[in-house]
Structure 1
Amino acid sequence: MARWEPGARERLVIAAVDLFTEQGYDATTVTEIAERAGVTKSTFFRHFPDKRELLVAGQETLSLLLAEGITAAPEGASPLEAVAAGLERASGEMGPRNRELGPRLKAAVAASTELQERDALKSVGMAAAMTTALLERGVPETTAHLASEMGVLAFKQGYARWSEGERSDDDGLARHALDVLQELRTATAALG
């Protein structure tokens, strides 16, 4: 077992998703995850405090990318245009590995109440990061919260479409997330 082999964090996430899918979250141990990833148990704990955190690996990075995109949006951008810039920024960092893991990750989360709770907290963190970025742009608080929640929904639904869609679809995650955001805009306008 190589102690300092590169990519340990990613291998741990992939091993966990595979094991959670194969045998369930509750039945999977940290030792099994470490063994499947080809690392020691102590290496696991250098990267993650517990197995629950594996499925939200990268949450801080994702939230940061969303906020950076919002901050970098043109000065006159509307709140939803700024959110779209955040979605584009974050989506640009999602590659084939993220797409491949999507359906398995979704199945693992659906099968565990504990993981569903952790996934909900991830959504709250994403919304908070986007809300803060929008507030810093001078967007009124209620509008910032609403735009952020729409951004989270657009990201999650766009990710689901992208990861579960046809592999021949060469469009990246950004197109799917932006399509959902546009659908949400239209739906909001129809509320009256």
Structure 2
Amino acid sequence: MIGIVNYGAGNIFSLTSALDRLDLPYGMINEEADLDKYTHIIIPGVGHAGTAMKKLDQTGLVAPIKALKKPVLGICVGMQLLTQHSEEGDADMMSIVPVKTRLFNKDQGIKIPHMGWNNITHKNNPLFEGVKNLTQFYFVHSYFIEYNPTFDIATAEYGMPFSAAVQKDNFYGVQFHPEKSGAAGERLLKNFSNLKH
């Protein structure tokens, strides 16, 4: 059973629609006690990382999330919340994965935000089981997670290589939106729901 961290930072309709299509049961996490009800936790997020972190802080869920031993998946801004620091709002994040979230560099002749389909190169990781290498996923973001080979489990290229997905212990993050990425994204959500830790 999947618990979605409901902290007011994201349109969770497309995520819940994808889980409905997959017949994966889910519920909302509004307070610490709710974390115990679920085997897998998703932290969604769209918009501004600094603001999202403030909202998450206000729920009192940061310390309980950091202490979790069950699989956790951060999506888009939810992934950025797992990092140490974001240049967006110059804000400290949860510091679960020791990497930084940085702004794309316009000088490289790229449009910001990075928006649309982009293929990814992934490592052999249970999250990507059954997903072909160079499969396309749907991205919408102006900030990216710097590439670090220790935690990177999938890489995308936009002016430069960046982390499309990371893992540290039971914490996973994806920069793209699996819930908007068709069959490959649904496969990834299904894989996440099957993870054991």
TM-score, normalisation: structure 2: 0.26
Structure number with bigger Rg? 1
Bigger proportion of residues as strand: 2
